Amino acid sequence: MSSDSFSDGAERNDSEAVVSATDPIRTKIKQAVTDVHEQTPLAQSFTNFVTINLVANAQLAAGGTAAMSYLPDDVIATAEIAGSNYINVGTLLPFFKDALPEIAYKLHKNGKTWVLDPVAAGIGETRTAILESFRAYPPTIVRGNASEIIALDEIWGLADAAASSTPTTRPAGVETVDEVDTAVDAAKRVALHLAKRSPVGKGAVAVSGTVDLVTDGERTFRLPGGSAMMTKITGAGCSLGGVTATYLAVSEPLVAALSASLLYNRASEIAETKSDGPGSFQVALLDALWNVTADQVATSKIIETD
């Protein structure tokens, strides 16, 4: 498959290598996918109103179960019986400004893992204030597009003085403005910050794009493949964040982020071949999330990079 590495958008250079078939990370990925199907873990979501239904259905299709909550007392009570949690800051309501910092603090205090999707990071004062508050009680995994990861890195002030002297001023938002490559350094910095306060001692960041990037700050992987139709339905990224939480309920952050992104890439490729437009694509995506096997996910092409 090495001859494909240029044509699939993942350019290979000296600092990149395809992860071998016997790499232990593949065993862990296969185990995570298998465990979700056998244990049907509950992942709880505090997520936006646009794609809340797809998030829940994707978690179910991946083999998990779902519960959605907004009130702090609901979220904290449900976190006691959930394997992991997911917070998505897409469609903010006024009470979120107080509720989300409180929830992040209590999840941290109670040693609960959670995935953050920083949707539209950089837009709106309220969203910035909420994301800023997560710096002290951070998630275990962050999943977003390049613009959002870069914006979060800036909001948390993780870049060094040199880097911050050239601030990014383009609008970040719900649409991917930046390519994944531009977010590599930010993703690593964010991942290392997550690890510092993680209840499981580790963190991970997944950057979605034409070629996804997943890092725990030490090892970094590129995941080629997927389907361009993912940008023609709403909630592809949001539901990937939710499914990442499903995997986080049974595995370490890096493995959870890899497993979820790989599952989505394989499922979206299948869905593209079975659909005539975005309506049937979403239906076929849910079917494929349900039908893709642990072997299919674990034998995916994975490229390790610096």
Size of the residue set binding a copy of itself (CB under 8 A): 62
Site membership for a copy of itself, residue 120 (CB under 8 A): yes
Q: Which two tokens stand for residue 272?
A: 């593209």
Distance CA 199, CA 107 (A): 10
Site membership for a copy of itself, residue 68 (CB under 8 A): yes
Give 66 or 184: the residue with its C-beta nearer to a copy of itself. Answer: 66
Site membership for a copy of itself, residue 70 (CB under 8 A): yes
Minimum CB distance to a copy of itself, residue 251 (Å): 21
Give 42 or 204: the residue with its C-beta nearer to a copy of itself. Answer: 42
Stretch that binds a copy of itself, among 118-126, 133-141, 148-156, 248-256 (CB under 8 A): 118-126
Stretch that binds a copy of itself, among 26-34, 67-75, 101-109, 140-148 (CB under 8 A): 67-75
Stretch that binds a copy of itself, among 108-116, 182-190, 228-236, 295-303 (CB under 8 A): 228-236
Q: Are 11 and 224 in contact (CB under 8 A)?
A: no
Among 124, 160, 196, 293, binds a copy of itself (CB under 8 A): 124
Site membership for a copy of itself, residue 65 (CB under 8 A): yes
- Residue list 42-61, contact with a copy of itself (CB under 8 A): 42, 48-54, 56-57, 60-61
**Residue 13 CB partners (closer than 8 Å, separation 6+):** none
Tokens 């465990």 belong to 35
Site membership for a copy of itself, residue 171 (CB under 8 A): yes
Among 43, 183, 286, 303, binds a copy of itself (CB under 8 A): 286
Among 18, 67, 163, 192, binds a copy of itself (CB under 8 A): 67
Q: Are 179 and 117 in contact (CB under 8 A)?
A: no
Minimum CB distance to a copy of itself, residue 78 (Å): 6
Stretch that binds a copy of itself, among 27-35, 183-191, 215-223, 270-278 (CB under 8 A): 270-278
- The DSSP secondary structure of the chain, one letter per residue, reads -GGGTTTTT----TT-EEPPTT-HHHHHHHHHHHHHHHH--EEEEE--TTTHHHHHHHHHHTT-EEEE--SHHHHHHHHTT-SEEEEE-SS--TTHHHHHHHHHHHHHHTT--EEEE-TTTTSSHHHHHHHHHTTTS--SEEEEEHHHHHHHHHHTT-S-HHHHTS---SPP-SS--S-GGGGHHHHHHHHHHHHHH-TTS--EEEEESSSEEEE-SSSEEEE----GGGGGSTTHHHHHHHHHHHHHTTS-HHHHHHHHHHHHHHHHHHHHHT-SSHHHHHHHHHHHHHH--HHHHHTS--EEE-
**Residue 23 CB partners (closer than 8 Å, separation 6+):** none
Minimum CB distance to a copy of itself, residue 234 (Å): 4
Minimum CB distance to a copy of itself, residue 284 (Å): 6
Give 97 or 135: the residue with its C-beta nearer to a copy of itself. Answer: 97
Site membership for a copy of itself, residue 175 (CB under 8 A): yes
Site membership for a copy of itself, residue 234 (CB under 8 A): yes
| Contact residues: a copy of itself, CB under 8 A | 42, 48-54, 56-57, 60-61, 65-71, 73-74, 77-78, 80-81, 90-95, 120, 123-127, 171, 173-175, 231-235, 275-280, 282-291
